[in-house]
Amino acid sequence: KIPVWLDCDPGHDDAVAILMALHLPQIDLLGISAVHGNASLHNTVRNAARCLLAFGSTEQIERIQVYAGASEPLIRMSRVDNEIHGEDGLGGVEGLPDASDPAVLAKLEATRGQSAVLAIADAARALPKDKKLVLVATGSFTNAALFVSLFPDLVRDKVDKVVVMGGAEGRGNRSPTAEYNILTDPHAASILLNHEISVIMAPLNITHTAIFRSHDNETLLHAGQTPDADSLVNSTPATTSSSHPVKAHTPLRHTLHTLLNFFAATYKHVFDFDEGPPVHDALCIAYLARPEIFRSKRYRVDVELEGTYTQGTTVVDLYDYRKDELKDWLEDSESRKSWGKLGKNAELLEELD
């Protein structure tokens, strides 16, 4: 199993990523951290705990901790996205425990005052010799940038890669050219992309091919595709064995239906998407579980930090224009020798079977 840490800003599609990370057999979810983004940190950390409690097994609910990370971007002001995800980040979703449910509060209390970034480091450090952590980031990259900056040696030894949802080749979503996760903290994105760690990126170009369509909704509501999926979507949230039982609720089938339909409605309203919403963040987890269904290519990717109209835009160097500019820099620095790694600093997921 791949040891995974999920850093997220739930968020409807983040919630799908949490569900998949908890249940795909290829993945061993070690911890969850929240970051500002779709909603305030106050809400995203509660939402992460609500999802864990609703989707996890009793064992996972007890073992996996949820940490609050950065509440603000490194430099610019935060920018929540109520229009897409509702007031609290998970608008319209039925069947999750409330944010004030004692089980949610107990989960948050367990890590109160602890740093998310240190928790990620501890999880990497605690892995056996032959294992390395995969950090998945599906919100803005503030926590991820802090982690790779603060722990360069640990990252080199014990982190295999960072898999992120973010960026776009061309058209953006929350500005004409910028994608939301990059736009919310462009400086953090730039730090992550310029770090020597291997970065795999799921940009809008591929996430907009992973649409939850109305026939998927029919399947979700009426028939599972496999006995496992069927028993999962028919289950009600686990009851913790602690003194705070989760107050549950409707079958997961209904919870997912309300989640994806709210998301579909906001995508229709904001972007006039008729087909259904892209489940952006879920692709990071799908990639880890089934890399063979993706095609990818390495590029130099820079983040526009100052542009008058283009702040947060990912500039993807499709034709290697920057190769010569970067040559000296690449040759000068000890850890930055290979064009293969840092020059072409991100592997972009381009197609999905």
Question: Among candidates 321, 346, 217, 222, which has minimal Cα distance to 279?
Answer: 217
Q: Which does 302 bind (CB under 5 to 8 A by kind): ligand BDR, Ca ion, none?
A: none
Pairing between β-strand 314-317 and β-strand 294-303 as defined by DSSP bridges: antiparallel
Cα gap 106→20, rounded to integer Å: 24
Stretch that binds ligand BDR, among 42-50, 68-76, 172-180, 221-229 (CB under 6 A): 172-180
Number of residues that bind ligand BDR (CB under 6 A): 14
User: Is 314 a residue that touches ligand BDR (CB under 6 A)?
Assistant: no
- Site of tokens 């970051």: 35
User: Is 259 a residue that touches ligand BDR (CB under 6 A)?
Assistant: no
275 membership: H or E segment, kind and range:
none
Q: Which does 173 bind (CB under 5 to 8 A by kind): Ca ion, ligand BDR, none?
A: ligand BDR
Contact positions toward Ca ion, by CB under 5 A?
9, 11, 14, 138-139, 281
Cα–Cα–Cα angle for 114, 143, 19, rounded to 5 degrees = 85
Task: Point out the residues that are catalytic.
Answer: 280
Minimum distance between the CB of residue 280 and Ca ion, rounded to whole angstroms? 7
User: Is 88 a residue that touches ligand BDR (CB under 6 A)?
Assistant: no
Cα gap 79→82, rounded to integer Å: 9
Cα gap 134→342, rounded to integer Å: 18
97 close to 246: Cβ distance less than 8 angstroms: yes
Member of 13, 101, 185, 347 binding ligand BDR (CB under 6 A): 13
- Site of tokens 């489940």: 279
Convert residues 49-78 into a mask of x (bound to ligand BDR by CB under 6 A) and - (unbound).
------------------------------
User: Is 304 a residue that touches ligand BDR (CB under 6 A)?
Assistant: no
User: Is 173 a residue that touches ligand BDR (CB under 6 A)?
Assistant: yes
User: Is 38 a residue that touches ligand BDR (CB under 6 A)?
Assistant: yes
Cα gap 259→8, rounded to integer Å: 17
Minimum distance between the CB of residue 316 and Ca ion, rounded to whole angstroms? 20
